[in-house]
Amino acid sequence: MDAYTPDAWGAAFTAVAGASAALTGLLFVALSINLARVIQVQGLIGRAVEVLLLLGGVLIVSTLLLMPGQGTANAAVEILAVGITLVGLLAYIHIRAPRRILGVTARNFAMRVVGAQLGPVLLVVGGVSLITQTAGGLYWVVPALVAAMIAAIIGAWVMLVEIVR
């Protein structure tokens, strides 16, 4: 498989798009079940938005990369745009998060931040790699999307189970 030709990666991006859409549905179920608690506790809305941004970013990137015939440069710009936007928006959420009110230890919060930022940062690396045609190209993007989905799954679990403890 060519690391710099998005058309060759259609099966992978189709699978990722389907998985992220299903996980987005899970998030909405979790929010519906625990809506009163999410609204009541300061900081949980930010956590829900964080998960939605991660899943939305995965869905957007994987869907855009399924468009046939687009050039490598266009795909790289799309990946970079989504990656950079996610890094910025997630950083804003993390900076404003009321860690002490939520009772989250510094270590656990750091793990949340690193987990959430890993996928978007790898997207930026993949976008740069794709546009420069060096260092692996799309081989960075798929792990980035998987990392973002894993962070989103953990966040959805918090929205569904952990907040009722």
At 12 the three-state DSSP class reads helix
Does the pLDDT at position 26 exceed 90?
Answer: no
Q: Report pLDDT digits (tens) over 70-128.
A: 889 999 999 999 999 999 999 999 999 988 877 788 999 999 999 999 999 999 999 99
Q: Report pLDDT digits (tens) over 49-82.
A: 999 999 999 999 999 999 998 889 999 999 999 9
| pLDDT computed for residue 41 by the predictor | 79
Does the pLDDT at position 31 exceed 70?
Answer: yes
Q: Which residue has the tokens 């990392």?
A: 147
Length of the chain: 165
Write the CB contacts of 22 (distance below 8 Å, at least 6 apart in sequence): none
Is the distance from CB of 55 to CB of 24 less than 8 angstroms? yes
| pLDDT computed for residue 160 by the predictor | 78
Considering only CA atoms, give the Rg of the chain: 16
- Output the 3-class SS for 109-159: HHHHHHHHHHHHHHHHHHHHHHHHCCCCCHHHHHHHHHHHHHHHHHHHHHH
| pLDDT computed for residue 165 by the predictor | 64
